[in-house]
Amino acid sequence: MKLYFFDTHAHIQRSAPTDEPRFTELVQNATEAGLRAILVPAICAQDWDQLADLPQFEDLKVRISLGIHPYSVSKLTPEVYLSQLEELQLRAENAPSHLCAIGECGLDFQRAGRDPDARAHQVRVFRAQLELARRLGMPLTIHCVKAHGLMLELLRERPTPPSVMHAYSGSAELGRALVQAGHYLSFAANVCIPGARKVVEAARATPAERLLIETDSPDQTPPGRGDVDNEPAFIVDVAERLADLRGEPLEELAAQTTANACRLFGVDLDAPN
């Protein structure tokens, strides 16, 4: 039985320029591994044009998510980031179907450290993107490190479109609360790391209909792949590990996570690009 996968988080714009042989190789490797679709998230506004111009392929749907990553917000004044989000709203309202989410955005209190001003600034920029997603009715692809409790509070403040916690690293308890609030949990090679007890427990506890998979490439190379950049083709490592942890057939997990991603992001794998 042929396996099909949807990589819900891969920064292929950071792996190779689209006109270089390495990019062609990445796409070929992905399709040979069974990838049918990839979601490529932005890191900053300077990424947006590059992502909008990413090529489409007969056997691989490339979808994009535009937003402002918490790593990119520290030097942005309110005037700048609000202007950028006005531009993002115009893009979303006039964009082709391959723009299907807001992000990557969120909170990273490990990066902010204990600086209350840095944390507050991250919250302000994320709130602005959260409100934009609510206005547009679009999902968010959310980065969250050391801030899961606050993230849950922000998502619960007002009705929020179903969204995804990318490379989820929180507890099973918080994961259940996020799922109850209508959101999805995506797991990367963090579940493959020996001794990663907390994320393993969360992965086991996630309902099948709210489970997603990703590579987060070129970061988070799975153990056993050696000293190489991660790439979408390595999604198989994540899927195999999750299937083993959950006691599910790999074919079932692949089909379920692909269907979940298509539902969340509004992707029809059988439609022309």
Residue range 121-176, pLDDT digits in tens: 999 999 999 999 999 999 999 999 999 999 999 999 999 999 999 999 999 999 99
Q: Identify the pLDDT of residue 224.
A: 87
Q: Lowest mean pLDDT: which of 69-83, 103-117, 121-135? A: 103-117
Q: Identify the pLDDT of residue 73.
A: 93
Task: Compute how many other C-beta atoms are within 10 angstroms of the C-beta atom of residue 96.
Answer: 9
Return d(Cα 148, Cα 80) in angstroms, integer: 27
119 pLDDT more than 90: yes
Task: Compute how many other C-beta atoms are within 10 angstroms of the C-beta atom of residue 75.
Answer: 7
18 pLDDT more than 90: no
* Sign of CA pseudo-dihedral 206, 186, 262, 246: negative
Going by pLDDT thresholds of 50, 70 and 90, the confidence category of residue 50 is very high
Percentage of the chain lying above the pLDDT 90 cut: 86
Residue range 229-269, pLDDT digits in tens: 999 999 999 999 999 999 999 999 999 999 999 999 999 99
Average pLDDT for residues 88-101, to the nearest whole number? 89
Q: Identify the pLDDT of residue 17.
A: 87
Q: Amino acid letter at 208?
A: A
Return d(Cα 161, Cα 133) in angstroms, integer: 7
Structural domains of the chain, with CATH: 5-265 (3.20.20.140)
Average pLDDT for residues 10-18, to the nearest whole number? 91
- pTM across the whole model: 0.96
Q: Identify the pLDDT of residue 7.
A: 99
Report the mean per-residue pLDDT for the chain.
95
State the DSSP code for 189. G
Listed as own residue / partner, the contacts of 175-181 with beta carbons closer than 8 Å and 24 or more positions apart are 175/202, 175/205, 175/206, 176/205, 177/152, 178/152, 179/206, 179/207, 179/210, 181/152, 181/155, 181/156
Q: Identify the pLDDT of residue 127.
A: 97
Q: Identify the pLDDT of residue 273.
A: 76
Q: Identify the pLDDT of residue 97.
A: 76
140: left (phi over 0), alpha (psi -120 to 50) or beta: beta
Return d(Cα 251, Cα 82) in angstroms, integer: 44
Helices 148-156 and 116-136 pack at an angle, to 10 degrees, of 40
Return d(Cα 48, Cα 146) in angstroms, integer: 27
